[in-house]
Structure 1
Amino acid sequence: MSQWKQIQLLENRLLEHVDYLYDDNFPMDIRQGLASWIESQDWDTAANDESVAAVLFTNLLSQLERVRSQEQNFLQRHNMKIIQQQLQVKYSANPAVMARVISNCLREEFRILSSACMQEQGPLEKSLQDSGAFERQKTMDNRVGIIRSSVQLMDQAVKYIEDMQDDFDFRYKTLQSRDRNSDMMKQEVTRLQEMLNRLDFKRKEILSKIDDVIKEIEDLVTTQLNPVLHDWKRRQQVAAIGGPLLTGLEQLQNWFTLIAQSLFQIKRQLDKLGELVVKVTYENDPIPLQKPQMEERVKFLIYHLIKSSFVVEKQPCMPTHPQKPLIIKTGVQFTTKVRLLVKLPEVDYQLKVKTTFDKDLPPGRVSRQFFILTNNTKAMDIEDYSNGCLSVDFRHLQLKEKKYINGTKGNESLLSVTEELHSLSFEACLTVQGLTIDLETCSLPLVVISNVSQLPGGWASVMWYNLLTDEPRNLAFFGNPPRANWSQLSEVLSWQFSTFAGRGLNKEQLTMLGEKLIGQHASCSDYQVSWSKFSKENIPGKPFSFWMWLDSILELIKKHLLPVWNENYIMGFVSKEMERILLKDREPGTFLLRFSESHLGGITFTWVERSDNGEVKFHSVEPYTKNRLSALPFADIIRDYKMISDGFVPENPLKFLYPDIPKDDAFGPLYNSHPNSNTTPPSCQSLEPPMTPGEFDMLNEQLCFDIETVSLHALTPGEVHHFCF
């Protein structure tokens, strides 16, 4: 069943999350109309390869044209034409952006489907899906709308005061040319006094309204906008380590822009009132008394609003490892993107952004120092496909380690290479309406590696940091890393499987995994797991840590076991003791698949048999690792597996996948080749015989005694393979 069909079977609660994924950047009409085609393309590669993205973009437009031409409904045909035109406008110049959008949507669909298999959401995801978020958004929209309306009305009020003042000024100058002693003169003076009193009242009134709006903006920014921005940044952290897809930046940009526009409009209104004072003023004129303080408040709000709107939209990431951001390898290009959320005509010009590595890092904090080898300055551009915001996309940054005199390095650190945290800073200087604003923001902490073998350790650090703190730049974090609750950590580990292997872990698998890491404490969700226990200490009796073991399993699934894993046929994290408990009462030939506890990146299977006297026997094979699975698909290994029976006739002992699924019913659709095909069997030297040494010696002795007992020519390629020795 296609992913999109599975999505449509979800309950309404989860369908609402799916609905939130699709907007003008990737309309749901396309997802629906091209579901199978979209799922068959490699969007991850296209997102980081312009040439592949360009081909896929052209193909997508062709597919849309095909579907549109076959559509019978006139209105639907018209809508698809509009969508096609919008896509061309948005993505023709940069199709990789489209690929990233689609890749993110597909990945989030995977995560939603995975969460549907879980009995309940984890605490971290629950915290990000606050039930009051929608109400807060409505409140924010309403408050911003009221502010905009109030500012527009104040424009009219200032214009009315200007007209009143012009009328007063004209009458006053006319009066000066008349006879001062006439009765008409006295009446005119009285009228002018009334006009001045009315003008004074209106000036005080408009200043009071401006003060009220400034107070409302101050409160809105402090109590709602800043927390929403902080929440978005926290969700960006969680999304970086496999959590829910990051959304909401367009909405944030809209709020930032409308509030900034209101503040600049108020600033112009205050400037206009200042001009009116030059023409007409009087004793206790409220404008000179109140305007300076109001101007300072408005400038302060503009300054801090625009400074906080300068954000890292996409954290630094190597295109070769798009699902593991915040890890940079020296000498390898990485990308990052910065965005200004305030969209104003006044700043629609080239704003240069400079990047600096480890800016203002205290001496002695790290043992290695780096510099940006490539051009570190680039101008921001207006993005048509994102409603005209200013952004800069650095695509070719590269780090190089500093060389030291006489080959000596800097201060020695107690931290490992993958625990040293670094930072990438971004700076720009913006001048708008007489205000000069220094913009600065920074990436989340980075791990810099020099060898790809350090990637697993680096990713462990990235996960631990972004799970446990929302501080944007705590580079000393691993000097004393906090512990993680098992409930939090298990949720993030499940995300790793949904991100890298397409399906997360269910409750039973997480419990098994927890027992592997913390023993019986796995049943306690609040049990504290230390950083050392997770990533640094070796598993008792093993030469590797828990995380190295788990990461090797992820790699094995991703490269060799995806079809079997996504069908939920691998039980995975079950101990030898537990597998015997599960199998002992099952039909002979029942087997289960689990990951090896003794090998890095190995999978094995165990089956149950009963002897004539009813004795239960268990058989396990030596784990299959990436080297062995590179030669033959795992489903074919299950199909062709043979062992020597008592009569020395090879037979497949695997009958039922636990608990009771006939083997061919489960794996049949996954078989890559027919067992009787003429395919040349893989080299016998690459795979060890899946039998015990005693069985192997017995077979060898029997073949030497009577070679005619077994005819190799009568065996299938898979059987021949198991007789090679």
Structure 2
Amino acid sequence: MSQWKQIQQLEIKYLEQVDYLYDDNFPMEIRQVLSDWIESQDWDMAANHESMATVLLRNLLSELDRECSQENNFLRRHNLKNIIKQLQIKYKAYPLLMAGVISTSLKEERRIIATASIQEQGPLEKSMQNSVAFERQKNMDNRLAVIRSNVQMLDQAVKCLEDMQDDFDFRFRTIQSRDPVDRNTELMKHEVSRLQEMLNNLDLKRKENLSKMSDVIKEIDALIASQLNPELMEWKRRQQINCIGGPLLTGLDQLQNWFTLTAQSLFQMKHQLDKLGQLILKVSYASDPISLQRPQLEEQVKYLIDHLIKSSFVVEKQPWMPTHPQKPLIIKPGVQFTTKVRLLVKLPEVDYQLKVKTIFDKDLPPGRVRRQFFILTSTHKVMDVEESSNGCLSVEFRHLVTSHLHLCVFCWFQGPLSVMEELHSLSFEAQFNILGINIDLETCSFPLVVSSSLSQLSGCWASIMWYNLLTDKPRNLGFFASPPQASWGQLSEVLSWQFSTFTGRGLNREQLCMLGEKLMGQQASHNECQVSWSKFCKENIPGKPFSFWMWLDSILELIKKHLLPIWNDNCIMGFVSKETERACLKDKEPGTFLLRFSESHLGGITFTWVKQSDSGEAPKLISVEPYTKSRLSALPFANIIRDYKVIVDGEVPENPLKFLYPDIPKDESFRRHYNSQQSKGKMFTKTPHRTGPLSAETHSE
């Protein structure tokens, strides 16, 4: 079944996540119309090779042209023509960006499918889902509705106050205009008494309105502090988790709605206070409550506006290189990277010429001297209204490039940091002006790692995972001076995300258990065990010349480049210890085999099968020397399984692989992955060794 058909069969909660993937950058209509063609192309490779991306862009437009010419529905044909024009404008000069967008979307689809197929979710994913619970959103909507209603009533109250004051002012001026001779008459005394009563009522009404304003301001303040700020922080935390492969990031449009409604209420109250300021220019008196209370209320409103607008300035898309879209927050000098900033307050009064400035490493900790970089390309860009995102103000920097400034050794703690442990930041600044209020805006990306070469990419990604898993501080650039430990429960979930993000299928409990044993040894339960940063990424596995993460990441690369179809088809058992392998195969029919990743080679896969002994002894297990990327580059692994042969004692070569564990006929599992290329059988030399009733043999080429 095609990936797009699998998507269409998902529950509505997963379809909503899919919906979030598609926008003007990659319209869903293209995904629907060209679903089979899109899935047949290698977008991952195209995202790293401009010539291939250019060819795919040209072919994509040709396919769309063909669909458009065959479309009988006038409206759909019109929409397809518009999409073709938009794609030509957007991607003609930047085919790599298009390939990266499509590659990311397809991988996110696979991750969503994988998530939907796994009933049990990890603690991090559960917490991310709980943070956007319906009841909390409903409570926020209700509170905002009450505030909006109260602000509207205050509008009416201020209008009523204005009418009362106009009546008083008219009577007062009428009395003043009377002849002084008439001022001591009974009628005049009655009118003065009536005027005093009106003034008393006016004073009472002013105090009542100011009291209501104070209550509403307190309610808005409480809403911002108790719910809006926490919701924003939760979204930023979800963004961190999404950066390292976690659940799809949603909720920003909802946040924008809440921020905008709150801002509208505050600006409406500022207008009301301005109106009160105008009223006292006409009528004021001793102990006038407006003169006494208005300045404080105005300061409170201005403070809340300032805080709200500053908070609404966020990094919508963290920096990422189009060449490595699934590994954000890693940049390389001289290589283009992209990021996007957004203002969550949508107001018609806003001056849309908001110029945003980018600054690299603006505020390094005192005394910290290290590799320094500067931005080569233009650092300024103007925010504009983005119609596709609910009319928000945003700006996307698509062509930022950094360059190295100089290199210094720093020792503000004992021992220098490695390149992958050096954290940098990208700041954004703008000046916001509205209704006479000037606000300096500033936000920053999550910490970045600058990779000097592709060989450092794996270690840099380990740093990004560790940081975003274990801290929510946005500028903790000294994090790796003393990095905290991670529980295996947390870390195993993130590792599974790497597989679901990069390959489309996460790891099951048994596979994660084997990884836990490899990292921490035999334990009754690994979940609460603590793993240090050094043990995860810097120290070599005992007896091996590589670290745990280097070993695991090399397997990820092997799957992505050479094993993806059979991995996603669940043909590879993968992470299996030799002891578990022996337990699985000991009672199986001769010819039963399983595929597992090598524990002794970086990026290696091997297969082990059951061989019946001719002498009546217990069956033997035979394994092959691991296949690595250098061997798999020449021939698909499924073909190797199909055509693998051994020669025993001069007999006719035969394929010993009959049933994929537990008992599936080999061709039933692998037929769809064979290609027409025929590989030659290999002759192997056996070196047996016994381990009890079940013996094992290893063949080496």
TM more than 0.5: yes
SS in 2 for 1:312: strand
Once residues 99 and 437 of structure 1 are traced to their aligned partners in structure 2, the CA distance between those partners, rounded to angstroms, is: 39
Q: Residue type matched to 2:300 in 1?
A: R
1:69-120 C-alpha deviation (Å, 9 max, x unpaired): 47xxxxxx97x68987997999886479998887665444322332344351
Distance 1:59 1:164, change over 3 A: farther
Once residues 486 and 399 of structure 2 are traced to their aligned partners in structure 1, the CA distance between those partners, rounded to angstroms, is: 36
1:175-229 C-alpha deviation (Å, 9 max, x unpaired): 1122213333223223322322222222122212211211110010000000000
1:673 is matched with 676
One of 237, 240, 244 as aligned partner of 1:241: 244
Distance 1:104 1:206, change over 3 A: farther
1:413-433 C-alpha deviation (Å, 9 max, x unpaired): 522111111111111221221
2:343 is matched with 340
Q: Residue type matched to 1:692 in 2?
A: T
2:691 is matched with none
One of 202, 207, 219 as aligned partner of 2:205: 202
Aligned pairs (5 A) from 1:129-144: 129-130=129-130, 133-144=133-144
Q: What is the Cα deviation at residue 304 of structure 1?
A: 0.6
One of 670, 689, 692 as aligned partner of 2:685: 692
8 Å CA contact retained: 1:607, 1:619: yes
1:453 is matched with 455
SS in 2 for 1:563: helix
1:474 is matched with 476
Distance 1:628 1:366, change over 3 A: farther
Q: What is the Cα deviation at residue 473 of structure 1?
A: 1.2
SS in 2 for 1:523: coil
Aligned pairs (5 A) from 1:371-410: 371-403=374-406
Q: Residue type matched to 2:14 in 1?
A: H
SS in 1 for 2:522: helix
Q: What is the Cα deviation at residue 20 of structure 1?
A: 4.5
Q: Residue type matched to 1:334 in 2?
A: F
Range 332-341 or range 265-274, more displaced: 332-341
SS in 1 for 2:502: helix
Distance 1:38 1:133, change over 3 A: farther
SS in 2 for 1:651: coil
8 Å CA contact retained: 2:351, 2:433: no
1:115 is matched with 115
Q: What is the Cα deviation at residue 693 of structure 1?
A: 6.8
SS in 2 for 1:666: helix
Note the residue ranges of structure 2 that are not aligned, 5 or more in a row. Answer: 689-698
Range 220-229 or range 416-425, more displaced: 416-425
Q: Residue type matched to 2:664 in 1?
A: I
Range 599-608 or range 522-531, more displaced: 522-531
Once residues 52 and 610 of structure 1 are traced to their aligned partners in structure 2, the CA distance between those partners, rounded to angstroms, is: 52
1:167 is matched with 167
8 Å CA contact retained: 2:595, 2:606: yes
Q: What is the Cα deviation at residue 507 of structure 1?
A: 1.1
Aligned pairs (5 A) from 1:652-663: 652-663=655-666
1:440 is matched with 442
Q: Residue type matched to 2:268 in 1?
A: Q
2:604 is aligned with 1:602:
yes
8 Å CA contact retained: 1:622, 1:690: no
1:148 is matched with 148
Aligned pairs (5 A) from 1:245-394: 245-394=248-397
Once residues 387 and 134 of structure 1 are traced to their aligned partners in structure 2, the CA distance between those partners, rounded to angstroms, is: 21
1:429 is matched with 431
Note the residue ranges of structure 1 that are not aligned, 5 or more in a row. Answer: 71-76, 676-680, 696-721
Distance 1:161 1:574, change over 3 A: same
Q: What is the Cα deviation at residue 594 of structure 1?
A: 0.8
Once residues 292 and 672 of structure 1 are traced to their aligned partners in structure 2, the CA distance between those partners, rounded to angstroms, is: 79
One of 543, 546, 553 as aligned partner of 1:544: 546
Q: Residue type matched to 1:673 in 2?
A: S
1:29-51 C-alpha deviation (Å, 9 max, x unpaired): 88667654554566768989897
SS in 1 for 2:507: coil
What percentage of aligned pairs have identical amino acids?
Answer: 68
Q: Report the number of matched residues.
A: 674
Range 119-128 or range 52-61, more displaced: 52-61
Distance 1:86 1:66, change over 3 A: closer
Once residues 339 and 582 of structure 1 are traced to their aligned partners in structure 2, the CA distance between those partners, rounded to angstroms, is: 54
1:636 is matched with 639
Distance 1:292 1:68, change over 3 A: farther
TM-score for both structures, normalised by structure 2: 0.89
8 Å CA contact retained: 2:131, 2:234: no
8 Å CA contact retained: 1:364, 1:411: no
SS in 2 for 1:608: strand
Once residues 124 and 32 of structure 2 are traced to their aligned partners in structure 1, the CA distance between those partners, rounded to angstroms, is: 31
8 Å CA contact retained: 1:90, 1:385: no
1:624-647 C-alpha deviation (Å, 9 max, x unpaired): 111111111111111111111334
One of 19, 32, 55 as aligned partner of 1:22: 19
